[in-house]
A and B are shown apart, each in its own frame.
Chain A
Amino acid sequence: MSRQSNRSTDTKKMNSELFTLTYGALVTQLCKDYENDEEVNKQLEKMGYNIGVRLIEDFLARSSVGRCQDFRETADVIAKVAFKMYLGITPSVTNWSPAGDEFSLILESNPLVDFVELPDNHSTLIYSNLLCGVLRGALEMVQMAVDVRFAQDTLRGDNVTEIRMKFIKRIEENLPAGDE
């Protein structure tokens, strides 16, 4: 699955079911290892964070978007460019808070949870928590501290999957020169 030939603008096709299966195997193994939903949620978020800090460079290298001027622009880029590029879906950006520092991403479909049903003994498991970690890690690398959590999850009975993102602060340490 690693790319060793020259990259064209569209990515090589991989079976998305293999991706869903891989993610499912990962979550079930974590459940077996930790036996505690809270712990699994934390681990998924951590793993997502490690993915996010690497994925951001790939995203910036391929999409050539510049620095976003405000949080609204960030939200648009995440929904329209990033999600499209990596998961092939375009969530909608809604529910802006009055201060403009919080918004929701509504996902109609979530490739991670194709064919998945949560059993009763895992009712507090946030299955797609990896995505929260990815978003947090990626934004941290571009000097934005955000809090990402699932507000609604189709696996737990809601109608849509909703990710709530809150801007906490701009990370001032280690700012790249010229970005003040």
Chain B
Amino acid sequence: MAIFSVYVVNKAGGLIYQYDNYVPRTEVEKTFSFPLDIVLKIHDEKVIVSFGQRDGIRVGHAVLSINGVDVNGKYTAEGKEILEYLKDPSNYPVSIRFGRARLSSNEKLMLASMFHSLFAIGSQLSPEAGSSGIEMLETDMFKLHCFQTLTGIKFIVLADPRQSGIDALLRKIYEIYSDFALKNPFYSLEMPIRCELFDQNLKSALEIAEKAGTFGPGS
């Protein structure tokens, strides 16, 4: 999975589409008996490991599911508080899955708006006039590529640093957007994109990009 996610941001800076293409490899599910030897605490509405790192369960990992059922923030799916649930010996043995907490959709919205502002700052910092905004952001784990159209829509792709052909992929996503989102008369501009055809075509475009590494002409 060399392309991790795709974000589409509208003119005003709001996130209108988001797709995650990766499976986090660092999820661990284990069965525990009372008492739990891992110290948990609540942080940011999530239950995370604060002490007791072992067997692939690291500090900072969040509780993702209990007994196979995904949790809901700091509550189980049934609405019980997780910490209370785990203090009760009658609930054991219990199977808990730990992993790196995924971003919630609110967090993604916030991060997209923040990126929109940083993008503008990028062009303002430029020593020369008429510079574009941020086109690429690189970290050791991923590269973020951003393409802004003349109409102000931004297409953002997070990919493996070694993945090539992302520019062509961004143009391809622009084409898919102009086809399956805009030509759908029931889609209103600047609103969240909820078009199945857009999803399907985006997924196949990502697959092609990952396999071929690049798009040829006429694809």
Assess whether B174 is interfacial by the CB under 8 Å rule: yes
Q: Which residues of A contact B130 (CB under 8 A)?
A: 178, 180
User: Which bracket fits the contact residues of A?
Assistant: 20 to 34
Binding site for A on B (CB under 8 A): 11-12, 119-120, 122-124, 129-133, 148-153, 171, 174-175, 177-179, 182-183, 189, 197, 217-219
**From A7, A61, A174, A178, residue with most partner B Cβ within 10 Å:** A178
Assess whether A118 is interfacial by the CB under 8 Å rule: no
Overall SS of chain A's interface: loop
Sample 6 A-B pairs with CB under 8 A, ordered by A number.
A6-B219, A54-B178, A58-B179, A58-B183, A61-B175, A62-B178
Nearest neighbor of A175 in chain B, beta-carbon distance = B152
Whether A62 and B175, one on each chain, are in contact in the complex, defined by CB atoms closer than 8 angstroms, is yes
CA distance A60 to B11 in the complex (A): 16
Q: Which residues of A contact B217 (CB under 8 A)?
A: 9
Q: Which residues of A contact B177 (CB under 8 A)?
A: 57, 61
Whether A54 and B182, one on each chain, are in contact in the complex, defined by CB atoms closer than 8 angstroms, is yes
Known: A9-B218, A54-B189. A176 touches B178 (CB 8 A): no
Whether A7 and B175, one on each chain, are in contact in the complex, defined by CB atoms closer than 8 angstroms, is yes
CA distance A114 to B120 in the complex (A): 48
CA distance A2 to B197 in the complex (A): 11
Nearest neighbor of B117 in chain A, beta-carbon distance = A177
